[in-house]
Amino acid sequence: MLDFACGSGSLLLNVRKRMGANGIGKIFGQEKNITTYNLARMNMLLHGVKDTEFEIYHGDTLTNDWDLLRELNPAKKPYFDAIVANPPFSYLWEASDAMGDDVRFKNHGLAPKSAADFAFLLHGFNFLKDEGVMAIGLLRDSAKSHGRCPTARLLGKSCCRSCRQIDSPG
């Protein structure tokens, strides 16, 4: 299981609790904020997850600086049965032109710099097994924000069985 914006690790721990310790395999997480990254690692240990049962990486998901996830060889690239994430809403990011060639984005286009929500979604799909399940929290219409409604293309490929929308606060 992977959470590429794991924060303190609570979503990973909740899924593990619901599935049972043997139901999800190794836990993988990534967090950009160093303090929260350390908190996630501490939370795993405090909740009885052995250090061999999880790997939390400190780094930026959107620049994909984790070597594990940068593997281009399909035979070695990690794919996950389950991906969960609650990425930061309307996160500002600096997408360079070169990122348009990134395997995660090149078929769907880059998300706008004002809101990286769609980039997080594409990142997750890139590492999801064909029969895998992904649950990701996004604001309503965040994936439509760059006009071409790429979510519709993803839905058209039968990638999603269910979409639940939430309204933005305020």
pLDDT tens digits along 76-113? 999 999 999 988 876 778 888 888 888 888 877 777 77
156 pLDDT higher than 70: no
| Rounded distance between C-alpha atoms, residue 43 and residue 63, angstroms | 25
What confidence score (pLDDT) does residue 164 get?
56
Domains of the chain, start order: 2-156 (3.40.50.150)
| Rounded distance between C-alpha atoms, residue 93 and residue 43, angstroms | 28
Percent of the chain with pLDDT over 90: 38
What confidence score (pLDDT) does residue 148 get?
45
Mean pLDDT within 124-135: 88
What confidence score (pLDDT) does residue 165 get?
56
Higher pLDDT among residues 12 and 71, named by residue: 12
On average, the pLDDT of the chain sits at 81
Please give, one letter per residue, the 3-state secondary structure of the chain. Answer: CEECCCCCCHHHHHHHHHHCCCCCCCEEEEECCHHHHHHHHHHHHHCCCCCCCEEEEECCCCCCCCHHHHCCCCCCCCCEEEEEECCCCCCCCCCCHHHHHCCCCCCCCCCCCCCCHHHHHHHHHHCEEEEEEEEECCECCHHHCCCCCHHHHHHHCCCCCCCCCECCCC
pLDDT tens digits along 34-78? 999 999 999 999 999 999 999 999 999 988 889 899 888 888 999
Q: pTM for the complete prediction?
A: 0.82
28 Cβ contact partners less than 8 Å away, ≥ 6 residues apart: 1, 2, 3, 54, 55, 56, 57, 68, 78, 80
27 pLDDT higher than 90: yes
